[in-house]
Structure 1
Amino acid sequence: MAETTTSPFGKGLLAATSIQLAETRRGAGRAPGMSAVAGLASAVAVMLAGPAARAQEPARDPVAAEALFKAARALVDKGDYAAGCPKFEASLALNPSASTMINIARCHEREGKLATAWHDYQRALVLNRETAGEQRRRSLEEIAKKEIAALEPRVPKLSVVVEGAPSGVEVHRDGTALPAAALGEPLPIDPGPHEIRASAPGHETETRAITLAEGQTETVALTLRPAAAAGPGAAGAPVTAGDAPGGGGGVPAWAWVSGAAGIVLVGASVGFLIDDLSAISALRDNCREVPGGTYCTPGYDFAADNARKNRDFGLFVGLGGAGLVALGVAVYGIIGAGGEKEPAPAQGAVALPWIAPSGAGASISGSF
């Protein structure tokens, strides 16, 4: 059952009275006014401290705590721990007692929270000092110590170590910060999954998950690595063509190669067009249509100019088309460099002209 305790305000009032009487006795040889003032000041100071002490402590209601304790006991006896255990917690909040704490410890033990239950029994021993009645106090103490002895070999322990711990390291176990003095110590913990996280300024955060069984003792060793340097030009960072000095202001090199090839091809196609027009002009000047066929000036090589005309026209079309394609690729590369930078391709685009007896053209190779 729940035990009752003495009110802090009552203790404070008794203390104030005692101080006032003592001051009165000591001040018998002083001036009467000074003794009275000193005694009154002491009494007022202690009486004012009484409400402050009550404000810092949770409100107590032993009657409600007793009712909740009995209701919880009845539910647990029926096997309804889900409804009974929260009532023990509510009873403890209204009036802390060793018996209520022991029942809460048993609830946690049943849930598999062995370290939490072990801690609850330790708290019960502390609360038991205020239990009324010597026999009752000894009985509760024996229960708590017996349960602690039975739980200790079952409680898992976890030790966290940060190898070469950098300055400002912070370690969290299941979201709760571990003090630096706790590192390396095997601390009791409930069975089941747990998460360990370590971080430090200028270092990568490391997270480790571990699952502990009853009675298991484990050590989690963490090593924090320096954070990698970021940004182009940093040690180990890749440098693209647009980032390299003299890289054409961000325009990839293949765009300039393709543009130059396009200009050469278009220029060559224009040259073949001029030669084609010259051949056509020579044919018109030296040959004319007559009834029954074509008449050419004696000594004029009709076949040579006719072949030159056909060849030049094919080269004009092929090289001109290839040049326009190469120029288009160059424009694409230059415009694209003005937006989001793309990684430079492993090989630039190159236009390669080809000439065959029946025609001409160009092939584009590389990455676009």
Structure 2
Amino acid sequence: MRVKRSVAAAGALILSLSVAPRVLADPTAEDRAAADVLFREGRAFVKQGSYALGCSKLLASQKLDPMAGTLLALADCYELDGATASAWATFNDAEATARKAGDGRRSKEAGRRAGLLEPQLSRLVIEVAPEARVEGIEVRRNARPLDAAMFGSAIPVDPGEHTIEAAAPGKKAWSTKVVVEPKPGQKTVRVPLLEDAPAPGRAARAPVATSAAPPASSWSAQRTVGLVLGGVSLAGIAVGAVFGLETLSKMSEARNQHGCTNDDPPRCDAEGVKLHQDANTTANISNVAFAAGGAALVTGLVVFLTAPSSDAVPSTVLEVRLEPPARAVAAGLSLRGSF
């Protein structure tokens, strides 16, 4: 590629011209010393292929002690790093700086490199239609404001991703991203007519709270109580089933192993009598648990199905108490609630 061949051919020339005459007398001796160190470090990084770091060193050197030779080295670094627009602009700066300082050799070299690079530039066109140019509109490329005179012009840019943003008073902000390929040509981005932003007063309005009550919910507290009663009913039924099975087991053992029957109780031995009595106790507990579970189930269904869709001010008191029998002869379930 012609540009790459020119880069290689000009490398030796740039190195030979690295000690350039200073175009400004402002830098101090310390500034010049620091600039010299940064220049050498920058050129070393460029030779190693660390272009981003090398360019940053050379740019810092140029800021401390502006020199046409440093500008040439910086432009060369930009080109090697693929930042063609930055390289082209820096070659042009170097040409003007050297020409102003009367340095014909550097001026000619910088102009030659800029001329070789210009046909290879990637360009970006940002169009803003007249109807989209509302009062106060500001368009930015990579966070930097663009002058309205640049709208519609094919501006050289470095290849890569660019962010285009537009904003105006009373309008919704707009942004897009565009990827510019590293090859000659141009891409176009069109800024649309910005949409109106909602009025601040409308967005700021909110309901005024009149009490500390929690907001209404489609799931009311009464329904929650209904579910709790349903859970209690399941527990009661489970308890009844457990004690019912135990009752059957004790009666079977008393009948089969100790000769106890309902028709002839005297045949029971002492152990059989005790098993028979225990069976009566567990049967009572089972009956009470089943009854309590059934009652809780019916109550829970009624509470759940009659609940309103929401409770403006939930106020629920629920007390559930399962009372085991004091002497294993009875059990009770107590429920109390208000809505």
SS of corresponding position for 1:226:
coil
TM-score (norm 2): 0.50
| Letter of the 1:174 counterpart | N
C-alpha contact (below 8 Å) 1:159/1:183 kept by paired residues: yes
Q: Which residue of 2 aligns with 1:2?
A: 20
Distance 1:159 1:58, change over 3 A: farther
Q: Distance in 2 between matches of 1:84 and 1:323?
A: 81
Name the CA distance, whole Å, in 1 between partners of 2:82 and 2:24.
35
Deviation at 1:73, TM superposition (A): 4.5
Give 1:185's aligned amino acid.
S
Q: 2:85 matched to 1:115?
A: yes
What pairs with 1:34-113 in structure 2 (closer than 5 Å)?
59=28, 61-62=31-32, 65-66=35-36, 69=39, 72-73=42-43, 76-77=46-47, 81=51, 84-113=54-83
Find the partner of 2:113 among 131, 138, 147: 147
Report the alpha carbon displacement of residue 200 of structure 1 after superposing the two structures with TM: 1.2
Deviation at 1:323, TM superposition (A): 7.7
Deviation at 1:216, TM superposition (A): 2.3
TM-score by length of 1: 0.47
1:138 CA drift (Å): 2.2
> In the alignment, is the contact (CA less than 8 A) between 1:2 and 1:96 conserved in 2?
no
Q: Which runs of 5+ in 2 are unaligned?
A: 1-18, 208-214, 221-298, 315-339
| Conserved 8 A contact 2:68-2:94 | yes
Shift in CA distance, 98/160, structure 1 to aligned 2, threshold 3 Å: same
1:161 aligns with 2:130: no
Q: Which one has a bigger Cα radius of gyration?
A: 1
1:217 positional shift: 0.8
CA contact (8 A) 1:97 1:131 kept: no
Q: Deviations over 1:64-87 (max 9, x none)?
A: 545654565466456565665444
What residue ranges of structure 1 are gaps of 5+ in the alignment? Answer: 8-56, 234-241, 243-249, 256-319, 338-368
Aligned pairs, how many? 209
Superposed CA offset, 1:301-349 (max 9, x none):
xxxxxxxxxxxxxxxxxxx99886565x33x524179xxxxxxxxxxxx
Identity %: 31
Q: Distance in 1 between matches of 2:174 and 2:76?
A: 36
Q: CA RMSD in A?
A: 4.1
Give the alignment of 1:140-219 within 5 angstroms: 140-163=106-129, 164-213=132-181, 214-219=183-188
Tell me the SS of whatever aligns to 1:197.
strand
**1:1-368 pair list within 5 angstroms:** 1-5=19-23, 7=25, 59=28, 61-62=31-32, 65-66=35-36, 69=39, 72-73=42-43, 76-77=46-47, 81=51, 84-131=54-101, 137-163=103-129, 164-213=132-181, 214-223=183-192, 224-228=194-198, 329-330=307-308, 333-335=310-312
